[in-house]
Amino acid sequence: METKVNQTFLELVRGDITDQQVDAIVNAANSQLILGGGVAGAIRRKGGVVIQDECNAKAPIEVGQAVLTTGGNLKATYVIHAVGPRMGAGDEDRKLRHATLNTLRVADKHQFASLAFCAISTGIFGYPMDRCAKIMLKDTIDYLKGSTGLKKVVFCLYNQAAYAVFARELKLLL
């Protein structure tokens, strides 16, 4: 599914984010930037130890922040590590908004043309997929209505259920 916001294509795809050929992919990180399981584990396995080494030098970071590392052996040149909220920690929606917007700001700061998001915090952090889709899509669309160099933003959803939730929410926002 694809739409255009100003000069930027916004696309939903189903698949493995580590296979995306974009300037940067987004890792749903923890504050210590340890590449353990889920998206982070896949990034470490495919991208190599160099990504973890760079993360170690930049950790810790706060919830809502985002930092950049190389993409190692990934198809993407870089990884933006964004720390999303853990459910039950309080003020989760605001924290997810900050993680989303700070990721977009990092991409623009480094003059990236393309970026692929995952569904931040919906794995082990327990954030509900529908709330994630609503917040991340709305904030991304609002951001893209402003001044940005991004030409393509992808939301790469790992399974059909997540894709369906994001597609339903995107239709509501358009």
Q: Mean pLDDT, consecutive 10-residue segments, the chain of 174 residues? A: 96 97 97 92 95 97 98 98 96 98 98 98 95 98 97 97 98 93
CB 85 within 8 A of CB 124: no
Tell me, what's the pLDDT at 37? Answer: 85
DSSP letters spanning the chain: -EEEETTEEEEEEES-GGG--SSEEEEEE-TT----SHHHHHHHHHH-HHHHHHHHHH----TT-EEEEE-TTSSSSEEEEEE-PPTTSS-HHHHHHHHHHHHHHHHHHTT-SEEEE--TT-STT---HHHHHHHHHHHHHHHHTSS---SEEEEEESSHHHHHHHHHHHHHH-
pTM score above 0.75: yes
pLDDT digits (tens, 9 = 90+) for 92-138: 999 999 999 999 999 999 999 999 999 999 999 999 999 999 999 99
98: domain CATH number is 3.40.220.10
Tell me, what's the pLDDT at 174? Answer: 86
Tell me, what's the pLDDT at 38? Answer: 86
Range of 60's domain? 2-173
Total of domains in the chain? 1
